[in-house]
A = this chain, B = another copy of it.
Amino acid sequence: MNFTIEHVLIPVDQGYEEVSVQIVEGRIAAISPNLDILGTAIDGRNKLLLPGFVNAHTHSSEMWQRGMIPPYPLELWLAELYDFTPLDPEQIYLSAVGTAVETLLTGGTTVVDHLVLIPGRELETVAAVVRAYREVGIRAFVGPLIQDEVFESGIPCGGTEPKHPTYLRSAAATLEFLQETIAQFHRPTEGISIMVAPTGAQLCSDALFEGCVELSDRHTLCRHAHLLETKAQKLLAHEKYGCSAVEHLKQLGFLGSQTSLAHCVWLDEHDIDLLGTTRSTVVHNPLSNLRLGSGVAPILKYRQAGINVAFGCDGAASNDSQDVLEAIKIGTILHNVTDLDYTHWVTPRQAIELASLGGAIGLGMAGEIGSLEVGKQADLVLYDLTNLSMLPRTDPIGLLVLGRPTQVVDSVWVKGDRVIAAGKPTRINVDELRSQLFNRSQWSVNRKSPTVQQVEAHYRSVMQLPVLSIG
């Protein structure tokens, strides 16, 4: 369907300009003041049009545990997460719908779902989220979260002998599943792309990484992984490889211009050089990094080194929301406390560019999405500037990034399809979604994770924390 958004504000070099934007066959055909109306007319008055953001790292099924996990660092938090992970593909479908809706309603048009799999029902898990994303109409990159080593391998030994069996399942079996996933679901022109997405160096063998590199080269797939999220992972990498995890991933050929790496909190100067020379993308998840106490990723340094940066919400069990504008705000202002020289601080306009074009670059999509340019696909978001949270009128992008906009997304188009209109999803019934999420859950507190109880003492010892007194 062709349409023209009239009298809409867009950012230009020296401020804002009121223009019309023509969309033809899913692409931006013209941007200019006083264009003819082509197709349906959309009233853009008192509204701001921006390219859609990329929610560049999340785990949709974590939505079932949001608000639930106590204040723990990643390694113990993961133990909780896996002890209570959803095991029903219908649940997986519903949390993917929820993730898509929250992403769209906060300015995102693309979601990167690093998807936790139901053991033994891996293909069904992927099918469930693909169905959800197609129904809602969001662009999705789905990276099945694969690992071939057991949970306990992800915690440093700290000089003790590892007691656990090393392998969860073979790299070969995992790669076979991935091959099948690609065959069944990888449809980039329809807005659904499969990525190779090993969870990270802490739980994956070299063989698994190498297999992923081979698959991504063969099928031109993006690569995605967690990287040095915590101090424990930095210790572990040195135990496991005798070098940094970045150096090791470089040697395995995993880094590159279509590789996006979530977190990157504990990199040193040499690691930063390697990300720069390989043109890898850092996905910054500020809220998750704070919630889990992982640290503050050195984003200002990455930008000074010319490294591409994107923003992610991370899964809703470590954030615990999927509000892309919130991730952008905190991911922008958090770094001001790391550098006294305010000329290095990220401006609201730069933040918007990281969230849109930065996200697109990390997915190899910079030619197709991520900016308001003629010829690009119409992944667009229209913001209502008359909402109370956007008033009084000042700088619209300043208000959007530094304020706390609530319900300001009026319309969203993905590939030119209007998937949000008047602040509501056009293709699914939100009340039905709410009712499903409500009925399949219950208020609860104080659940006990058996795995936390198993590993906590060892974790505290390795991290040189005092022994906990009992009771």
Binding site for B on A (CB under 8 A): 9, 14-16, 63-68, 70-73, 76, 95, 98, 101-102, 231, 287, 289-296, 316, 319-321, 323, 326, 330, 333-334, 336-337, 339-343, 345-348, 385-389, 391-404, 406-407, 430, 433-434, 437-438, 440-446, 463, 465-466, 468
Contacts and interface: CB of A to CB of B under 8 A. Distances in A.
Contact of A333 (B291, B339, B396, B430): B291
Given A337-B295, A340-B463, A445 B395 contact: yes
Nearest to A433: B388
15 contacts: A15-B446, A66-B392, A67-B348, A67-B400, A68-B398, A72-B342, A293-B336, A293-B339, A293-B342, A341-B466, A388-B437, A391-B434, A391-B437, A392-B440, A393-B443
A437 B334 CA distance: 29
A340 B231 contact: yes
A389 B66 CA distance: 10
B465 A336 contact: no
A321 B404 contact: yes
Majority secondary structure of chain A interface residues (helix, strand, loop or mixed)? loop
Contacts of A68: 394-395, 398
B15 A445 contact: yes
Contacts of A466: 341
A18 to B, nearest CB: 10
Given A386-B434, A402-B291, A445 B336 contact: no
A453 to B, nearest CB: 15
Nearest to A446: B15
A333 B290 contact: yes
A463 B463 CA distance: 36
A347 B71 contact: yes
B402 A319 contact: yes
Nearest to A18: B443
Given A342-B76, A443-B394, A336 B292 contact: yes
B443 A9 contact: yes
Contacts of A320: 398-399, 402-404
B388 A66 contact: no
